[in-house]
Structure 1
């Protein structure tokens, strides 16, 4: 199907608005965001009202311990259907996004954080690109306000490392804020894996993609839930989920170490037998043993990461458990119910 046909079909889906036909789904995972959620919801609903689309907002409560859930469930009526899906505990953002994708009904699906670092006012730009025929529209951060130099530098190094060893192209400086076409989401929902690195999974299906640059704002209030240890764990998940090259690198490192040890050992024997030079003692032996021990432990730990992921996959546990689903009708639906009554 050519691009012009895709545009015609997508524009037709927008003009044929019915309560049963959701054009746009906005997925908002959150965890302990009670201070920012009211402001975020006002800005998001104002943007969606201007779009004049049949839309739904899916809030995913990832086991919040504050008043975030009750705040979402008490939001005033809007032109968008608002659904709050509460997970039974904190399963992590990757699982929360997976739940949102599973329950989305729209032809276009947007994932956005609730901390207002990603402006909801940019959603119309995403829709415009979707109408042009793109299946995935990535939001690339041209500026990352409120983030330290170390975090920006480490993120850039990670993306370069991931793209160099993985067999896919994960866009640099692109977070979870993006638009996905229905077909892409359907393919992602069919993936059976439990260890999920969503930035890689979003890129894995391929399809027609484009990017929009924007300035990412500093966090509106509160503190980030991602410290450096969690970011390091997420980086390890990303690398091990999409490549086995680290195992091959470990094999090559072991082979080179063994070869170096053989060459050095032969040199010591020849020097001792023919030259009579005594073999160096305790310091050199300790250095070699520590070096070999460190390489061995590193390789064992690397294999342990992959074995641990195999163990988790074999248990086939669900990604998340849903405690409750609260659905708030739109203003239009309330009016219809009133006329029916």
Structure 2
């Protein structure tokens, strides 16, 4: 009887140290899951270190290892999409290579998705222990904000780490938009999802490529991708500015009729001009963000470009 296949999608950017450690830990888990077969789908996202070299070495040593290598850095979202597109498994797992996503949850995820008819077993951190306080604060505020202004619920602390059925993966692949926010897409497609909680873990080796600024920009992309609330805010700000201008015009007209037209008032005039100008620039900035996203979608550029894969490596080795 043919065993079911689990695909492990692992985006990598400058992770030469972590790849062998990751494979070692996963092998310890998979040896206790003899009822399934598995494959690694590493996605080298234009790494500047020896990540590609390490992947080639691992692919020659381990028949379970597959890899995709981009022509340049396209970002984690492109890596996830490429991995999903090339995964062959009946069940697909998305994981980070840094082992902050605990591999020991894999057997329980497989058991739940098989026995309780879930389409997806996701994970979420129960605590943010070890994370910088400022990052934790803004992360909580982001989840609180986006769940208020968006119709798509995004679970606080939810990780990309999850196991999905082939049906759910195919549904995600139908969403081929250029501007991607996977946490929102996973939720938007629907399907029955159960979350497993775990405590936050530190990286085993290497350094994260996610700075506070990159996470902030990522959160803005998520808000723009799954909510029109900023556009509504821009409209409201514009209306309130116009209303304030009308009220002030009436006020100053009445004051002039009663008290005359004194030369004083320069400060209030400049304050009003700066205030209204700032509101207009804010509204234009919000509109510009959406227009920019539409512009990128209209160009219909590919989400990623492959430079080479493990198949190229194996074909080369065969023809030697």
Band of TM-score, shorter chain: over 0.9
Residue 46 (structure 1) aligns with? 28
1:192 aligns with 2:176: yes
Q: Measure the CA separation in 2 of the matches of 1:159 and 1:301.
A: 22
In the alignment, is residue 253 of structure 1 matched against residue 237 of structure 2?
yes
**2:265 is aligned with 1:281:** yes
1:311 counterpart SS class:
helix
Tell me whether 1:225 sits opposite 2:225 in the alignment: no
Q: Are the counterparts in 2 of residues 32 and 68 from structure 1 also a CA contact under 8 Å?
A: yes
What is the total number of aligned residue pairs between the two structures? 310
TM-score (norm 2): 0.92
Partner of 2:2: 17
Q: Deviations over 1:208-247 (max 9, x none)?
A: 1111100121111222111122111101110111111211
Q: 1:31 aligns with which of 13, 34, 39?
A: 13
Give the secondary-structure state (helix, strand or coil) at the position aligned to 2:179. coil
Q: 1:173 aligns with which of 157, 165, 176?
A: 157
8 Å CA contact 1:168–1:203 kept in 2: the answer is yes
Aligned to 2:109: 126
**Pairwise mapping of residues 258-269 of structure 1 onto structure 2 (< 5 A)?**
258-269=242-253
Q: Which whole-Å CA distance do the structure 2 matches of 1:258 and 1:221 have between them?
A: 55
2:69 corresponds in structure 1 to 86
Structure 2 distance, partners of 1:51, 1:77, is: 21
Q: Does the Cα contact within 8 Å between 1:145 and 1:218 map onto a contact in 2?
A: no
1:104 is aligned to 87
Aligned-pair distance for 1:279?
6.8
Q: 1:81·1:327 contact (CA, 8 Å) conserved in 2?
A: no
Cα deviation, residue 280, structure 1: 4.3
Q: Is contact 1:83-1:328 (8 Å) kept?
A: no
- Counterparts of 1:299 and 1:170, CA distance in 2: 26
1:291-341, CA deviations, whole angstroms, 9 ceiling, x for partnerless residues?
Answer: 111111111111111111111111111100111111599xxxxxxxxxxxx
Structure 1 unmatched ranges of 5 or more: 1-15, 330-341
What's the offset of the Cα at 1:124? 1.2
Equivalent residue for 1:235, pick from 216, 219, 237: 219
Q: Matches of 1:55 and 1:127 in 2, distance apart?
A: 12
TM-score (norm 1): 0.87
Aligned pairs (5 A) from 1:135-146: 135-146=119-130
In the TM superposition, what is the alpha-carbon distance from 1:72 to its structure 2 partner?
2.0
Q: CA deviation at 1:275?
A: 4.2
User: Deviation string for 1:70-92 (max 9, x for gaps)?
Assistant: 212222755x7210111111100
- Counterparts in 2 of 1:127 and 1:279: CA distance versus 1, 3 Å: farther
Indicate the SS of the match to 2:131.
coil
In structure 2, the gaps of 5 or more residues are 314-320
CA 263–34 in structure 1, closer or farther in 2 if over 3 Å, else same:
same
Partners of 1:51 and 1:92 in 2: CA distance: 32
